[in-house]
Structure 1
Amino acid sequence: MKLHIIDEAERCLKCKKPLCQQGCPIHTPIPQITQLLLENRLMEAGEILFANNPMSAVCSTVCNHENQCEGHCVLGRKSSPIHFSSIENFISDSYLDRMEVPKIEKNGKKVAVIGSGPAGITVAIKLALAGYKVTIFEERSKIGGMLQYGIPEFRLSKSVIDRYKKKMEELGIRIRPNTVIGSAIVIDNLFRDGYSSVFVGTGVWRPKAIGIKGESLGNVYFGIDYLRRPEAHQLGEKVAVIGMGNVAMDVARTALRHGAKEVTLYARGKRISASSHEVSYTKLEGADFVFGKAIESINEAGPMFKTSIFDENNKVIGYEEKLDQVEADSVIICVSQAPKNKLVLTTDQLKTTEKGLLLTDENCMTTHEGVFAAGDVVQGANMVVHAVEEAKRAAEGMIRYMEREENE
């Protein structure tokens, strides 16, 4: 493992204008990191990675590397790109447990973080390091959000999240599990109780319905609900998955691991929105892909499809009249998610887009004074690294806001 990592680091050209760094949404200083590794300065490299991206140990595993850092490596034009994901994972994984938590002088201000997904964890760590007393409110019993309940164990070990929890506790971050903000406690209560600002990182946990006949039948499930507890579902041997995004890939691979014999993914067009690596693994594990099938309804026998008609540019321009009944024991719908609306319904001045996503300004502040938001609840379902990128801006915006309030 170490020899491979060093070999990869030695291949790095240390470009003066590193396209790999530009291709990373959070602009990880890749040439600097590879050089530090070659100089046996592992902890220094880990410190830089963590400062730039507190979720580095996660992103190095689940990021869409082929479209980001590795996809922009100049070596990839004629041969194989530097597999920086492996280098980053080795360094970050080694650093996470060994990092020394600094003694931080608290400034007396309290901050509430609603949701403990990637955005919430990032904001909590950044603000704790800046001297704020942070309390995380988590709806479920375990932290991690989508990392814990949406990404399967075979893609991301849950032990990583446990290690983050331990490190956050060392930073003095309080975690209040099984607490829904927007129920017995609302956002206004947080300000009443002395929190100087509030961060919302609640993600997108409400499945998007297609609006077709049959969605309420007993053999139909939504992808995000299935991934939360796959062992609670009895899918049968033949499973139809509607959609071809990353969630659909996770659903298909999970279903195969939980007893399904035949798993087929269906798409209306000919485009796959999931990353190419996830598609490759899904095919390798035995799932089938069928294109040009638009779901029309679902019955006890399985899904009913309309067959798409394409033009010369592979754009859907219509459908054949005949419907196609597909036999399946279960149907799992994976066509995106939206935020739950508890916070909006219980908080005046908190405005959303037509899709239910929170509106924010350039500082990540919502339309409610002192309430900030980032991640999927603002962007819609997206990659972990994008949530971290925006959460860093939110933390900076919150600090500026609280400092301004103190001066005024």
Structure 2
Amino acid sequence: MLNNLIEANNCILCKKPRCQNNCPIDTPIPEIIKLYKENKIEEAGKILFENNPLSVICSIVCPHENQCSGNCIKGLKGEPVSFNKIEYEISRKYLESVSTKKIKSNGIKVAIVGSGPAGITVALELCRRGYDVTIFEKNEKIGGILTYGIPDFRLPKSNIELLEKYLKAVGVSIKINSMIGPVVTLNKLFEDGYKAIFIGTGVWNPKRLNIKGETFGHVHYAIDYLRTPNSYDLGDNVIVIGAGNVAMDAARSAKYYGSKNVSIYYRRDVCDMTATKHEISEAQDEGVHFETFKSPVEVVDGGIIFEDTKKIENLDGSSSLVPVEDSKKFYPCDTVLIAISQVPRNTIVINNKGLDVKQGGLLITNEFGQTTRDGVFACGDVTNGARTVIEAVVDSKKVCDSMDKYLQQFLGN
């Protein structure tokens, strides 16, 4: 693409690249840009893919403002180099054109429970090392949050389809509509010959507001809505409660599917929002309205009651949020979408002894991704709570090393 070549030519190929140093997975950005300028797309794609199997995804959904572009030296006096656009072009072309063949298996079976960012990364990494990998996905499509949590207009699903095609080509088996826990247990997997199990099931249970009226018919949880947004009739006036990327995605989806007036309500200020600046800006550009310092009190027929909040300075220099007296007010709307984070589903834990959890239902693991049950590993959102895709990839690569070391005992037996 001409625009991407212009971006590449703007890069000064720093000897001490701040962009690379602030990339969580240490993408060799100057090297990739140099190869791109030399039209060595396949070579660049191979480097990107081997370093980060989800490069094509991260090039879209990573918080680039805090990583590569946000630390570009060019950005100090002008516009930073948009490496993510170059990365996407290279990664996409690589997956579309790379010649793949089935990797020879060493006969050691490994089960991957969940096919989100962590599951896909572990499956690819272990398959590369010769293990016989099977993914168990409870839905009809792989991808987890990539498929069922990020709108298609932000992350085209064709990218996940390319990854699925690659997974199958190299020999990874994928069982869709296969939930592990209530019927097929971890014990059953071990009995059938799997020598290790990786759990990467994400966080899919929405957190409640715990206010009166939350179960009313015009109230939905954003993470549920994002699974099939075209199935919902939200009406013209929608209020989204939350401040993260899920809230932004829900608000933007509501606008995309026809709601005329969509507002995000948050108990703090815009600068306190956990969503990326890019996501906030995109939502504002698409007509989403922001109401800050509003805390939900009660859902009622035809809308919701909020009260105003304000920040106060404490003696120690910190700040606290307190309600404003006599500020409760009714706000009419057709639909309320709640987006205040998620926690893991406990299906696997309840039905499988030996897996310990910490507060919030997150799986307990050590620094190597080992759970409290021998042979069972985990990482990603199911152990850390909702985080970024790139963080899941980084953690997954570390866990792969740990699983590989554990599985060595079965080789030659």
TM-score (structure 1 length as normaliser):
0.97
Alignment partner, residue 342 of structure 1: 347
Alignment of 1:4 onto 2:3: yes
Contact 1:309 1:320 in 2 (8 A): no
Partner Cα separation in structure 2 for residue 106 and residue 351 of structure 1: 32
- Identify unmatched segments of 5+ residues in structure 2: none
Q: Is the 8 A contact 2:102 2:171 kept in 1?
A: no
Q: Out of 392, 400, 406, which is 2:397 matched to?
A: 392
Q: Distance in 2 between matches of 1:359 and 1:10?
A: 47
Equivalent position of 2:336 in the other structure: 331
Provide, for residues 309-350 of structure 1, a one-character-per-residue CA deviation record: whole Å limited to 9, x for no partner. Answer: 222687423432331110011100000000000111111121
**CA deviation profile, 1:145-184 (whole Å, cap 9, x unmatched):** 1111110010011111111111111011111111110021
- Tell which deviates more after alignment, 314-323 or 30-39: 314-323
- Return structure 1 stretches of 4+ with deviation > 3 angstroms: 312-315, 404-408
Q: Does 1:296 align with 2:297?
A: yes
Measure the CA separation in 2 of the matches of 1:10 and 1:294: 48
State the 1:25 CA deviation.
1.2
Determine the structure 2 residue equivalent to 1:98.
97
Q: Distance in 1 between matches of 2:322 and 2:182?
A: 46
Distance in 2 between the 1:20 and 1:240 partners? 37
2:135 touches 2:175 (CA, 8 Å); kept in 1?
yes
Query: Given that residues 103 and 171 in structure 2 are in contact (C-alpha distance below 8 angstroms), is that contact kept between their aligned partners in structure 1?
Result: no
Distance 2:5 2:16 in 1: 22
Deviations 1:341-374 (A, max 9, x none): 0111111121111011111112111111111111
Structure 1 residue ranges without an equivalent (≥5): none
**Partners of 1:240 and 1:328 within 8 A in 2:** yes
The DSSP-based 3-state class of the residue aligned with 2:332 is coil
Match runs of 1:345-356 below 5 Å: 345-356=350-361
Q: What corresponds to 2:150 in structure 1?
A: 151
Q: Map residues 103-252 of structure 1 onto 2, 5 A cutoff.
A: 104-252=103-251
Distance apart, 1:249 and its partner CA: 0.6
Q: Is the 8 A contact 1:269 1:315 kept in 2?
A: no
Q: SS where residue 348 of structure 2 aligns?
A: helix
Q: Secondary structure, in 3 states, of the residue corresponding to 2:203?
A: coil
Instruction: Tell me how far apart the structure 2 counterparts of residues 172 and 204 of structure 1 sit (CA, whole Å).
Output: 28
**8 A Cα contact 2:307 2:323, kept in partner:** no
For 2:364 and 2:72, the matched residues in 1 are separated by 35
Distance in 2 of aligned mates of 1:397 and 1:59: 24
Percent identical across equivalent pairs? Answer: 46
The AA in structure 2 aligned to 1:390 is: D
2:408 pairs with 389, 403, 406, which one? 403
Secondary structure of residue in 2 paired with 1:5 = helix
1:40 alignment counterpart: 39
SS at match of 1:305: strand
1:274 corresponds in structure 2 to 275
CA distance in 2, matches of 1:222, 1:100: 42
8 Å Cα contact 2:101/2:169 also seen in 1: no
TM-score by length of 2: 0.96
In the alignment of these two chains, the number of paired residues is 407
Residues 108, 410 of structure 2: 8 Å contact kept = no
Which range moves more in the overlay, 334-343 or 102-111?
A: 102-111
Give 1:102 deviation, angstroms: 4.8
Q: Secondary structure at the residue paired with 1:320?
A: coil
